[in-house]
Amino acid sequence: MTLIVGLTGGIASGKSTISAYYQSLNLPVIDADLEARLAVQTGELAFEKIVGHFGSTILQNDGGINRKKLGEIVFANEEERKALNNIVHPEVRKRMGEKQKKAIEAGAKLLILDIPLLFENKLHEGCDKTILVYVEEEIQIKRLMKRNKLTLEEAVARIQAQMPLKEKCALADELIDNNGSIDDARMQAKSILQKWHVV
């Protein structure tokens, strides 16, 4: 039996920090953001469909997708954002599904799915357990401003565009309180898996 664990957070809550920690322990992690980047690489089906829909002006000199330009188009236009998601999401789900199948077939005890929009996209329904990396908004704003070099207003706008972390708390099986040090968060991350007898 493979325990499928959904790992999520909010922007700058520390999800990637915990995901990297789990990977450093050699635990199997499927990273949704990474799969999304791989899915739109030159020659992939989603790449062809994106060029078909948005035109070759979204390509950069090396033939790859100009992510900044594409981002500007879709963030300014809801219809285009939906169109892009309709192209990319099925491919990401397919890639993740294939990796998940392999891990299960290989008899893995544990598989961690690192997914930013786990609850928003109802992907927690495919998980046995969920873990949320949680921080107070004040700390979240400070870390986001520092990491992404944003002003206070920009950071607040990005946080407010998401489902409030407090709402996600109610949906998760376990919380990692990341208001303290990274070491403290790592210890919590490990003890959750120990409690579930998968490490």
Q: Give the DSSP H/E element, type plus range, for residue 30.
A: strand 29-31
Q: Facing residues of 133 across strands?
A: 176
Least separation in angstroms between residue 49's CB and ligand ADP is 28
Report residue 173 as tokens: 């099986």
DSSP symbols for 83-133: HHHHHHHHHHHHHHHHHHHHHHHTT-SEEEEE-TTTTTTTGGGG-SEEEEE
Which of 87, 135 has the CB closer to ligand ADP?
A: 135
Which position among 15, 95, 124, 168 is part of the footprint of ligand ADP (CB under 6 A)?
Answer: 15
Window of 6-14, 24-32, 71-79, 190-198 that interacts with ligand ADP by CB under 6 A: 6-14
Angle at CA of residue 5, ends 19 and 183, nearest 5°? 35
Please tell me whether residue 130 binds ligand ADP under the rule CB under 6 A. Answer: no
- Mask of contacts with ligand ADP, 138-157, x by CB under 6 A? -----x---x----------
Least separation in angstroms between residue 178's CB and ligand ADP is 5
